[in-house]
Amino acid sequence: MKSIFQSNVPSPDSGSLIRRDGFTVFAAPGTEMPEGFPENIAREKVLKESGSVAAYLCGGGKYFCKIYKFRNLLHSLKRTFRTPRAFRCFAGAQLLAEYGFQTPKPIGAAVRYRGGVPLYQILLTESLPENTVYPGNEFKQAGFDEAENMLCALAAFAAKLHQAGFIHGDMSLRNFYFIPEKNTFGVID
């Protein structure tokens, strides 16, 4: 079995690595970056804000941006020698897409450093269509029979991931979605 996060960094032929203004940025080839990425990206619609993660839409809703924050100096120092999570998620999304699984297209990933210590990381992907269904939200509103059918379909999708050799490090309802017009599930994070 291979973890989608075992390919720690995006492959060199899948984009370019740029260092500028305290950032290390990985950009997918042939993709348009939103204005100001990563330094001054405009937060248009905040989707989640917590002590460790912020998620929002930008670029007129075209992009989804997730910021992984470091909580304190010890937390930052422990992660100095690990491949940044934003880069691991970027590489995982590329690998999932390569194997034909539905996942948001990765656009870029960045890490902000100061004095060699990471301050925060950014993952940028295409946003999902507006009519995307999130199973976690749907279970709360569905009756038992409808929730049971949805859960069975989701379990079948997870089984396909495992049959292909993928292990998702954070398998929970919030990391799956359904696109009705394609009649398919997808995976994020």
What DSSP line would sit under 111-138, residue for residue?
EEEETTEEEEEEEEEEPPPTT-B-HHHH
Q: What is the pLDDT of residue 104?
A: 93
Higher pLDDT among residues 84 and 64, named by residue: 64
pTM: 0.81
Looking at the chain, the whole-number percentage of residues with pLDDT higher than 70 is 84
Mean pLDDT score across all residues of the chain: 79
Query: For 93, phi and psi rounded to 5 degrees?
Result: -65, -40
Q: Is the confidence at residue 67, as pLDDT, over 70?
A: yes
In angstroms, the CA 14 to CA 107 distance is 11
In angstroms, the CA 105 to CA 163 distance is 22
Q: What is the pLDDT of residue 132?
A: 83
Higher pLDDT among residues 19 and 97, named by residue: 97
In angstroms, the CA 88 to CA 123 distance is 10
Q: Is the confidence at residue 88, as pLDDT, over 80?
A: yes
